[in-house]
Homo-oligomer: A and B are copies of this chain.
Amino acid sequence: MVCFVLSGGFGGKPGARRAIRMSAEPVGIGVIGCGRIGQVHAKTLAASMDAKLVVMADPIVDFAEPVAKSFGADFVADYKDLVNDPRVQGVVIGSPTPYHAEQIIASAEAGKDIFCEKPISNDLEVIDKCLKVVEDKGVRLLTGFQRRFDPNFRKVKQEIVNGAIGDVRMFHITSRDPAPPPAEYLKKSGGIFLDMISHDFDMARFVSQSEIDEVFVTGKAFDPEAAEAEDFDSVVTMLRMKNGSFGTIENSRSCAFGYDQRIEVFGSKGTLTGNNRGPSEVVLSNGEGITSGLPFSFFMDRYTEGYRDIMTEFVDMIVNQKEPSVGGYDGRAPILAAMACKLSAAENRPVFLKEVDV
A residues with CB within 8 A of B: 5, 7-16, 18, 20, 22-24, 26, 32-39, 43-44, 46-47, 49, 52, 58-60, 63-64, 66-67, 70-72, 94-96, 99, 151-152, 154-156, 159, 164-167, 169-170, 172, 174, 176-179, 181-182, 185, 195, 216, 218, 220, 222, 234, 236, 238, 240, 244, 246-248, 250, 252, 255-257, 260, 264, 266-277, 279-295, 297-300, 348-350
- So how many copies of this chain end up in the complex? 4
Contacts of A156 in B (CB 8 A): 282
| Nearest CB of chain B from residue A39's CB, rounded to whole Å | 6
Q: Give Cα distance in the complex from A185 to B270, angstroms.
A: 25
**Residues on B with beta carbons closer than 8 Å to the beta carbon of A167:** 222
CB pair A39–B159 under 8 Å, yes or no, is: no
* CB <8 Å contact, B26 and A7: no
A49 nearest CB across to chain B (Å): 4
Give the 9 A-B residue pairs with the shortest CB-CB distance, closest first: A270-B286, A10-B33, A9-B60, A47-B47, A289-B291, A7-B36, A275-B281, A257-B285, A10-B35
Given the complex, which residues of B lie within 8 Å of A71, measured CB to CB? 49
The minimal Cβ–Cβ distance linking A346 to chain B, given in whole angstroms, is 13
**Known contacts A7-B35, A11-B96, A246-B236; is-contact A277 B284 (Cβ 8 Å):** no
A8 to B62, CA, bound (A): 11
CA distance A280 to B305 in the complex (A): 11
Closest residue on chain B to residue A279 by CB atoms: B151
Known: A11-B96, A257-B289. 9 other contacts (CB 8 A): A11-B35, A11-B36, A12-B35, A16-B297, A16-B298, A18-B298, A26-B70, A257-B287, A270-B285
Question: Which B residues are CB-close (under 8 A) to A292?
Answer: 289-291
Q: Which residues of B contact A283 (CB under 8 A)?
A: 272-273, 275
User: Which residue in B18, B95, B248, B299 is a CB contact (below 8 Å) of A36?
Assistant: B18
Is there contact, CB below 8 Å, between B268 and A13? no
A289 to B71, CA, bound (A): 37
**In the complex, which of the residues B95, B244, B255, B293 contacts A289, with contact meaning CB atoms closer than 8 Å?**
B293
Chain B neighbourhood of A250, CB < 8 A: 170, 172, 248, 266
Q: Are B282 and A257 in contact (CB under 8 A)?
A: no
Q: Cβ of A284 and Cβ of B297 under 8 Å apart?
A: no
Query: How far apart sit A155 and B283, CA to CA, in the bound complex (Å)?
Result: 10
The verdict on A273 contacting B282 (CB below 8 Å), with A10-B96, A293-B155 known, is yes
Closest to A38 in B: B10
Contact, CB under 8 Å: A281 / B274: yes
A300 contact set on B, CB distance < 8 A: 18
Can you list 12 contacts pairing A with B, beta carbon distance less than 8 Å?
A9-B59, A15-B181, A72-B72, A152-B282, A169-B222, A216-B238, A218-B240, A256-B268, A275-B281, A289-B293, A291-B291, A349-B349
